[in-house]
Amino acid sequence: MAETGLPAARLEFADSWEGCRQAIEHYYLAGWSDGLPVIPPTEHEVASMVEAAGRDPLEALGEVPPRRGLATVETVATCAVMAGCLREYLPVVLAAVEGLLQPAFNLNGLQSTGNGATPLCVLSGPVVTTLGVNYGTNLFGYGFRANAAIGRAIRLVLLLQGGAFPDTGTKSAMGSPARYSFCIGEAPSNPGHLLHNPWEPAHTRFGLDPSDSVATVIGANSPQNVWAGQGTYERDRFISALAEELAKIAMVTPRTQLTIVINPYAAQQLAVDPGWDRADFEREIFRRAYHVRQRLAEALPITGSLDQWFAGPESLITLVAGGAQFPTACALLSGWLMGNAWATPTRIHSR
């Protein structure tokens, strides 16, 4: 690359495929990547994305730990371009970053931990449908631009502003594939549809309005798929099987927030018979898991009181999402082993 006399923060490459390839390789050499190729963030693309969000590019969101780089609307937009985001995704990424930087979330601890937990971004409300966020089949997997690009943009902010690179920023011994991109949607209310969510959006538990679009960040480990009661739904068997798995996870990750993702079909059945809402379900699943935990405590050499090892229903976050192919397919996600990094919601403000 020829010297241009431009400031160090600005690079110039030929306006061609070869120039684009050189830019991508330069980003690799400079350490400005998550290991995958990035889209070179041209001034035009970044400015267009910021303009679409309707926010001041120099607005400071806060310092991103552990290296305390300053996240601004413009730097987050730069990461969003690099991740392959559409312009309308930026308000979502900004909301997620704002949630991560709330003191109560303890991002510094989560970034630096030797554990594998990482921020999960859960989108709920109208934004899920508007942006085409996946809340169904292959929920935590590939195939949907919004999920992949938004999750990746968040990760690039944590890397480039936060400096959470292996060894120098994060000490996670085993890491997690979720540290590439970890973003899902919650099923919306859509009566008559297989993936209808019969309950209000998960963010309403924090006092937000059902009509709000919200990004909720949660410190979580990779999902554990659970077949609750095998393949055919039967209420009592489903709840008991799910409680059994929940208690086992609570045994090895005590006092953390546990995220339960239940299939929309199962949620619909619970909403009709016995007419439960989300809080009713969480109280019952906790009650049964608590009894399972008591049984395990009698058989295993566990120290400490039961209450110290298994918190109450308030430590459960229940989401309705996943494909309709198997009505008892669920997922459980343990929280950060060191505690904190509990669910933190932020309203998404679009222009």
Q: Please check whether residues 38 and 53 belong to one and the same domain.
A: yes
Q: Please check whether residues 210 and 351 belong to one and the same domain.
A: yes
pLDDT in tens, 136-147: 999 999 999 999
Q: Please check whether residues 162 and 51 belong to one and the same domain.
A: yes
Q: Are 176 and 222 in contact (CB under 8 A)?
A: yes
Higher pLDDT, 13 or 292: 292
Q: Please check whether residues 162 and 113 belong to one and the same domain.
A: yes
Q: Please check whether residues 314 and 184 belong to one and the same domain.
A: no
Residue 318, in any domain of the structure: yes
Q: Please check whether residues 328 and 349 belong to one and the same domain.
A: no
Provide the domain count of the chain: 2
pLDDT at 211 over 90: yes
Q: Are 266 and 302 in contact (CB under 8 A)?
A: no
Residue 18, in any domain of the structure: no
pLDDT in tens, 28-53: 999 999 999 999 999 999 999 999 99
Kindly give the residue spans of alpha helices, DSSP state H, lying in 2-62.
17-30, 43-53
Neighbours of 113 (CB within 10 A): 20
pLDDT band at 304 (very low <50, low <70, confident <90, very high): low
Residue 22, in any domain of the structure: no
Would you state the pLDDT for residue 2? 34
Higher pLDDT, 163 or 298: 163
Q: Are 283 and 274 in contact (CB under 8 A)?
A: no
Higher pLDDT, 75 or 170: 75
Q: Please check whether residues 74 and 143 belong to one and the same domain.
A: yes
Residue 273, in any domain of the structure: yes
Would you state the pLDDT for residue 1? 32
Q: Please check whether residues 106 and 237 belong to one and the same domain.
A: no
Q: How does 32-48 read in b/e, with b if 16+ C-beta sit within 10 Å?
A: bbbeeebbbbbeebbee
pLDDT in tens, 246-286: 988 887 777 788 999 999 999 999 999 999 999 999 999 99
Residue 75, in any domain of the structure: yes
pTM metric for this prediction: 0.93
Q: Please check whether residues 106 and 245 belong to one and the same domain.
A: no
**Mean per-residue pLDDT, 73-96:** 98
Residue 8, in any domain of the structure: no
Residue 13, in any domain of the structure: no
Q: Please check whether residues 190 and 226 belong to one and the same domain.
A: no
Q: Please check whether residues 287 and 213 belong to one and the same domain.
A: no
Q: Please check whether residues 229 and 123 belong to one and the same domain.
A: no
pLDDT in tens, 222-249: 999 999 887 789 999 999 999 999 988 8
Residue 6, in any domain of the structure: no
Could you tell me the residue range of the domain that residue 299 belongs to? Answer: 222-334
Would you state the pLDDT for residue 4? 34
- Could you tell me if residue 74 is left (phi over 0), alpha (psi between -120 and 50 degrees) or otherwise beta? alpha
